Structure 1
Amino acid sequence: MIIDTHLHLIYRDRLSYPWLKDVSALDADFSWETYAREAKRLGISSVLHMEVDVAPEDILGETAMVQELSQAPDSLIQGVIASCRPEDPGFADYLDGQLANPFVKGFRRVLHVVPDDVSEGALFRENVKLLSGTGLTFDLCMLPRQIDKAKALVDLAPDVTFILDHCGVPDIKGHGYETWKAGITDIAKRDNVRVKISGIPAYGDLETWTLEDLKPYFDHTIGAFGFDRAIWGSDWPVCTLGGGLSTWVATTQALLHGCTREEKDRLFSGNARGIWNLA
């Protein structure tokens, strides 16, 4: 069975997504029902919802909406990685409120779409350190050229578990392997970092990518982190741009050819259970 640690849901009638206007292929509704129909056929048994960079005033509303969806009798949703703004003075109060809700498993602030210096601010860094001792994770969604900024955050809070999204967002289409490879090797030396095997078809040529295009990136990521520190995510609906959920599950299975059953189980479910105490 598979735990999907990176599901996005988009409900434009309930929440505001400012970035959608610039991504026409995703400027649509992507509902739980649509995802679940396919996911259950693929053996996905549990899901974490990943924040979708909603407008700041909708951050709490997004968590509430997903928690509402999780209460349906047949729902697979076990928690959320909530949006946050560590650069804002109100972060500490926001964190206190989320600590009271066990449905919140961690946080993410998308950093590859904001100025590089956002994560370098003193307030941002002090607020990330507030996660120490909470058991909540922090997802890093950053470009290869930003890897030094990611390492700086990781080193500030050695007892916080950081999740590096999408294998570090490699430029597969642009053949950016060498620059990306060095950064992955370096950040993997930090014991408090986990890596998410997710999203990489979207960084290849959306129309023509092949298994062989992705394989060097998968192999090096696993080689650097090992199966004990890797988790799986669908990145749905972004994965629909490069083939869809079924294609990504099948691709992952093909990339795992020759791996042991224990290694596959750790990637697909075991590690996620341990990080977020999931069923």
Structure 2
Amino acid sequence: MLFDTHLHIVDRKSLNYPWLEGAGTLNRDNLYDDYAREAHRCGITGALHMEVDVAPADIEAETAYVKRQAVRPGSLICGAIASCRPEEPGFEAYLERNLADPFVKGFRRVLHVVPDDVSEGDLFRRNVARLAGTRLTFDLCMLPSQLDRAISLIDLNPYVRFILDHCGVPGIKDEAWSPWSERIGELAKRPNVTAKISGIVAYANPDRWSVETLRPYVEHVIGSFGWERVIWGSDWPVCTLGGGLSTWVAATHALTSGCSADERESLFQRNARQLWQL
């Protein structure tokens, strides 16, 4: 069974997503019912909702919307990773509100859509440091070219628990290996970082990838971080760019078919449940 740490819901009637205008086939509604129908068939038993970079005015409305999906009978959703803006002065009060809400399990600020130096700003770094010693994690969604900046941020915050999204977004389509692989190895030296094996089919050639295309990237991340610091995610609906949820689940099982039951359990759900006390 799988615990999905990276589910996106898109409901354009309820929330505003400015980035969708340039998102091609992703510019559509992707609702909870669509996900749940396929997720149950794939053996997914629970999920965390990952923020979808809504318009800043809708950030807290997004969390409220996800809560409404979570209280539906039989819902798979048991928490949310909320959007945030650590580069802005209002972050401290926002943090306090979310610390009072057990439904929120962590924060993410998408960093590959803003100037590279946003994560190097003094206010951004001071605000991320406020997560130290709290129950909240911080997801890093950055391109391989930005991973040096991720390392700098992590080194300033050894007591903040960071999650590296999507294996660090390797350039699988272009068979890019270096410097991504070296930066993954360097990131893995930081014990407060967990790597998310999530939806990397979206970064492969949609017409030509196979399990063996993905294998070196997945095995490098797991080999670098170890089985105790990896978690699984679908990145639905972005994973539809590479075949969809069922395809990514099937690839995950194929990639781990030679691993022990304990290793698979760690990746599939145990580590996530321990990390967020689910």
Q: Give the TM-score normalised by the residue count of structure 2.
A: 0.99
The one-letter code sitting in structure 2 at the alignment partner of 1:144 is: P
The corresponding residue for 1:81 is 81
Q: Percent identity?
A: 61
By how many angstroms is 1:27 displaced?
A: 0.6
Q: Write the distance in 2 (CA, Å) between the matches of 1:105 and 1:77.
A: 12
Matches within 5 A, 1:1-279: 1-278=1-278
Is the contact made by 1:8 and 1:49 (CA closer than 8 Å) also made in structure 2?
yes
* Residue type of the alignment partner of 2:276: W
CA distance in 2, matches of 1:207, 1:93: 47
SS at match of 1:45: strand
| One-letter amino acid of the counterpart of residue 185, structure 1 | G
Q: Which runs of 5+ in 2 are unaligned?
A: none
Local SS of the residue matching 1:178: coil
Q: Contact 1:135 / 1:160 at 8 angstroms: preserved in 2? A: no
Q: Residues of 1 paired with 2:133 and 2:71: CA distance? A: 28
Supply the AA of the counterpart residue of 1:88.
E
- Structure 1-normalised TM-score? 0.98
1: CA distance between counterparts of 2:56 and 2:174? 33
CA contact (8 A) 1:139 1:164 kept: yes
Query: Residues 2-35 of structure 1, C-alpha deviation per residue, up to 9 Å, x if partnerless?
Result: 1000000000000000110001211100000010
What amino acid does structure 1 have at the position aligned with 2:42?
L
CA deviation vs aligned residue, 1:55-77 (integer Å, no higher than 9, x gap): 00000000000001100111010
- What is the CA RMSD across the aligned residues, in angstroms? 0.7
Q: Aligned partners of 1:209 and 1:25: how far apart in 2?
A: 19
- 1:230-278 CA-to-partner distances (Å, cap 9, x unmatched) read 0000000001111110000000011102100000000000000110011
Distance 1:131 1:23 in 2: 32
Q: Tell me, yes or no, if the aligned pair for 1:256 and 1:264 is still in contact at 8 Å.
A: yes
Q: 2:181 & 2:94 partners in 1: Cα distance? A: 36
For 1:18, the aligned partner's letter is P
Displacement of 1:178 in angstroms is 2.0
Q: Is the 8 A contact 1:211 1:255 kept in 2?
A: yes
Query: Using the alignment, how far apart are the partners of 1:87 and 1:226 within structure 2?
Result: 32
3-state SS of the aligned residue for 1:152?
helix
How many Å separate the matches in 2 of 1:33 and 1:242? Answer: 21
For 1:182, the aligned partner's letter is E
Tell me how far 1:209 sits from its aligned partner: 1.2
Matched pairs, number: 278
Q: Write the deviation string for residues 199-252 of structure 1: whole angstroms up to 9, x where unpaired.
A: 211111122211111111011011100110000000000011111100000000
In 1, the alpha carbon distance for the partners of 2:119 and 2:177 equals 25
Q: Which runs of 4+ in 1 moved over 4 A?
A: none
